Amino acid sequence: MIAYVSGTLTEKRPTEAVIDVGGLGYRLLIPTSSFDKLPPKGETARLFTTLIVREDSQTLYGFATEAERTMFETMIGVSGVGPKLGLAALSGMSPSELRDVVLGEDAGMLTRIPGVGKKTAERLIVELRDKFSKLDRLGSNGSHEGDSETVQARSDARSGLEALGLSRAEAEKRIRMVLRDNPAVSSAEDLIRMALRPA
């Protein structure tokens, strides 16, 4: 397994990059979100990678952040979702936005991804919802935010809000809004209390 490739960036396009590592050029297919984070050609670049081996090909996919790679690998784990769709999703949304769209059950936003129709969007929500909720918060800078206590508090708060009659999507939406405005909140009790405040 190739975890990452680091070397001189010799070529870059919105859909691919070539990194020279000791005279060997690695061609990586990338989402546009990773392209935006690449340095100018000739400078050192590092991309996290996923290698997909098939009977007739070996393709290396590159990502500027571990969060992008995690989302990509989670998506292609769903039956019928290939690398092309995974790259398209990350080209249209950041990892945190993609996660929020799925957890918010916003099929309309998912249909904006090239190749995703209404039925595919609904299937993605069903199949990815639980997997994405386990990832918890993915920072816009690509890091995984929150320690295990925060993750547990968020999960407990979501369950509490659902017990109070909110749908899973609405509970998740309110918790996201609380954490966006109050990132220091770390207890389920505070999350529930603040999520129930009138808008």
Tell me what pLDDT residue 4 has: 94
Question: Coil, strand, or helix at residue 152?
Answer: helix
Amino acid symbol at 16: E
Domain 66-145 has CATH 3.10.110.10: no
Tell me what pLDDT residue 9 has: 97
Residues making up the chain, counted from first to last: 199
Tell me what pLDDT residue 148 has: 56
Q: Under CATH, what is the fold of the domain 146-199? A: Helicase, Ruva Protein; domain 3 (1.10.8)
* Whether 174 contacts 168, CB under 8 Å: no
Report the predicted TM-score, pTM, of the whole model to 2 decimal places: 0.69
Dihedral sign for Cα 32, 77, 162, 67, please.
negative
- What are the structural domain ranges in the chain? 4-64, 66-145, 146-199
Tell me what pLDDT residue 25 has: 96
Assigned CATH for 4-64: 2.40.50.140
Of 74, 81, 88, nearest to 33 by C-alpha is: 88
* Whether 51 contacts 105, CB under 8 Å: no
Mean pLDDT, 10 residues at a time, over the chain (199 residues)? 92 95 96 92 96 92 93 90 92 85 88 89 90 64 49 81 83 82 84 84
Of 110, 102, 100, 109, nearest to 145 by C-alpha is: 100
* Whether 199 contacts 174, CB under 8 Å: no
> Treating both helix axes as pointing N-terminal to C-terminal, what angle do 66-75 and 83-92 enclose, rounded to 10 degrees?
130
Q: Report the distance separating Cα 12 and Cα 22, nearest Å.
A: 18
Tell me what pLDDT residue 150 has: 65
